[in-house]
Amino acid sequence: MDIKTGRYRHFKGNMYEVIGIAKHSETLEEMVVYRALYGEGELWVRPASMWDETIERDGKIIKRFEYIED
């Protein structure tokens, strides 16, 4: 999976910055480490498979997170 570091827009409009990719200590599943670019700037993790998935919204297939820039 090729998830770049940098800024992304969530399909609901909020902006996030991907810090890097980590591995779950038990399952070795790849996790995206990212920071909210609003509010308190909290750090979050999400399975890479979920980060890179597409969803259906208003009858259109779109990416959950869209890459914006480095």
**Residue 30 to residue 53: CA distance in whole angstroms:** 14
* Dist CA 67 CA 70 (whole Å): 9
Label residue 2 by pLDDT band (50, 70, 90). confident
Q: Are 9 and 15 in contact (CB under 8 A)?
A: yes
Architecture of domain 6-69: Roll (2.30)
| Domain residue ranges in the chain | 6-69
The whole-angstrom separation of Cα 22 and Cα 24 is: 7
10-59 pLDDT, tens digit each = 999 999 999 999 999 999 999 999 999 999 999 999 999 999 999 999 99
Work out whether strand 6-10 and strand 65-69 pair parallel, antiparallel, or are unpaired. antiparallel
